[in-house]
Amino acid sequence: PSPSPAPSPYTLDPTGAGQHAANERLRAQGAVVPIVLPGEVAAVAVTRYEELKEFLAHPDVAKNARHFTALREGAVPEGWPLTTLATVESMTTADGDDHRRLRGLVTQVFTPRRIEGLRPRVEELTAELLDALGEAALGGETGGAGVVDLREHFALPLPMAVISELLGVDPDLQGRLHELSHAIVSTTTTPEHVLAVNHDMAGVLGTVVARRRAAPGDDLTSALLAAQAEDGDRLTDGELVGTLLLMVVAGHETTLNLITNAVRALCTDREQLALVRAGKADWGDVVEETLRYDSPVSFFPFRYPVRDLAVGDTVIPRGAPVLASYTSAGRDERAYGPDASRFDVTRRPAVRHLSFGHGPHYCLGAALARLEATTALAALFDRYPDLTLAVPDHELPRHPSFVGNSTETLPVRLHR
């Protein structure tokens, strides 16, 4: 294939508005499309399922930002909203041996047994939050009696509490960590704010490290500190803080969106909820279908071909920043048929969604995310079977981001 004639590149909307409609146009345009990011940075998005799957596992594709030509050449503005995710010193920006080393340190603590062992704790936290939800609704804090923001009071605190306990983050730091994480995945942040957020994030994570150094526990931070003490070459200080940053952000912003998006979809199409009630689908099916239909992670930054690389019928130039368009791939008609844009909990797709990624960087927290989301949804609709959206889905404010894919709030009524 020869380099394609460049159609005028699409500027990604930093507010995340109308993402599915924009994705449909991008997919029609091609499997690989040029786009423009905030700050006039040229990039490429892989929009279709097959090509994305191939690209994610391609051996000539790197994640370390040293391969990002425009960044290396100083053409990326300071305080660029995507800088943190693109350069955080951790497994998500590491390749080869570095990636194995950094991921290995975390997987040691994050074993399937340990995750499964968390089930009773996840159930307990869920039950506590559901009790508190009833009380918050009585207060009628959002738009009248009986209305409560399910995102703030349920979808957020569950994954935040779980990841915090795993990492050894004390409760008093969790609120601030969420605010900072949320800013990191937002794409409308001003340069000044980006710099302030990074500064504050380093400060809070520094506090976490100092506390666990003084009082180690059975948590990831303490385990990473112990690995460092044993052999200083295994983890630098920068990598320690970068790993914690990645784990905090990836460990809750995503599951937060998954739970939110599942509730939005089920309450918008109650027939789907009825199918679950009738036993035609289980909560695992709801979670997988939500991941496909409304992927919590939309455009994930970045991968860089280490040579000019043909993907589909397009050549992506070496060093170009490439976004994985997970939200788009989930609705690709080529993979999921003509009704790909329909939420259908009884769908048994021939191909598995890519919403946890694919290849060496496949989501490390997939089992935990599934445990949390299935537990949360089952318990929520068991306790509040008549739960409805207090505001129609299409009127809800969006999280201003093209990296995350969800709404900013989720006002619901718990009872009819």
Q: How far is the CB of 134 from ligand HEM (least distance, A)?
A: 26
By the 10 Å C-beta count (0-12 exposed, 13-18 middle, 19+ buried), 9 is classed as middle
Among residues 22, 65, 180, 247, the one that binds ligand HEM under rule CB under 6 A: 247
Does 357 help bind ligand HEM (rule: CB under 6 A)? yes
Told to check if 258 binds ligand HEM by CB under 6 A, we report: yes
Of 73-92, which residues contact ligand HEM (CB under 6 A)? 91-92
Q: How far apart are CA 385 and CA 367, in angstroms?
A: 26
User: 119: number of CA atoms within 13 Å, CB side?
Assistant: 8
Residue 100 burial (CB count, 10 A): 14
Q: Which stretch binds ligand HEM (CB under 6 A): 123-131, 270-278, 359-367, 381-389?
A: 359-367
Residues 184-243 interacting with ligand HEM (rule: CB under 6 A): none
Contact set for ligand HEM, span 363-392 (CB under 6 A): 363-365, 368-369
Residue 361 touching ligand HEM (CB under 6 A): yes
Gap between the Cα atoms of 371 and 150, Å rounded:
19
For residues 186-195, one letter each, b for 16 or more C-beta atoms within 10 angstroms of the residue's C-beta and e for the rest, the string is bbbbeeeebe
Number of residues lying near ligand HEM (CB under 6 A): 25
User: Helices 157-167 & 171-185, crossing angle to 10 degrees?
Assistant: 110
Residues 6+ apart with CB under 8 A from 230: none
C-beta of 100 vs 342, nearer to ligand HEM: 100
**Contact call for residue 356 and ligand HEM (CB under 6 A):** yes
Spatial strand order of the sheet with 322-325 comes to 10-11, 32-37, 41-46, 322-325, 299-305, 61-62
If we measure between CA atoms, which residue out of 343, 337, 330 comes closest to residue 405? 330
Q: Is 300 in the site for ligand HEM (CB under 6 A)?
A: yes
C-alpha to C-alpha distance for 297 and 126, rounded to whole angstroms:
23
In the complex with ligand HEM, which residue's Cβ is closer, 55 or 384?
A: 55
- DSSP for 180-205, written as a single string: HHHHHH-S---HHHHHHHHHHHHHHH
The residue to which tokens 């992506």 are assigned? 316
Q: Does 251 bind ligand HEM (CB under 6 A)?
A: yes
Binding mask 310-349 for ligand HEM (x = CB under 6 A): --------------x-x-----------------------
Our CB check for ligand HEM shows the closer of 372 and 414 to be: 372
The region of 17-25, 45-53, 175-183, 357-365 touching ligand HEM under the rule CB under 6 A is 357-365
- From residue 314, how far is each of 1, 3, 31, 132, 139 by CA, in Å? 7, 6, 8, 53, 56
Query: Which residue stretch of 73-81, 123-131, 354-362, 394-402 sits at the interface with ligand HEM (rule: CB under 6 A)?
Result: 354-362
Q: Per rule CB under 6 A, is residue 64 in the interface with ligand HEM?
A: no
- Give the SS3 label for residue 147: strand
Minimal CB distance to ligand HEM: which residue?
365
Q: Is 355 in the site for ligand HEM (CB under 6 A)?
A: yes
Tokens representing 399 are 């999280």
Candidates 103, 153, 399, 413; binder of ligand HEM (CB under 6 A) is: 103
Rounded to whole angstroms, how far apart are CA atoms 278 and 271?
A: 10
Q: Could you say whether residue 296 binds ligand HEM (CB under 6 A)?
A: yes
User: Is residue 404 a contact residue for ligand HEM (CB under 6 A)?
Assistant: no
* Structural Rg of the chain based on CA atoms: 21
- 160-179: contacts with ligand HEM (CB under 6 A): 163
Residues that bind ligand HEM in the complex, under the rule CB under 6 A: 91-92, 103, 163, 246-247, 250-251, 254-255, 258, 296-297, 300, 324, 326, 355-357, 361, 363-365, 368-369
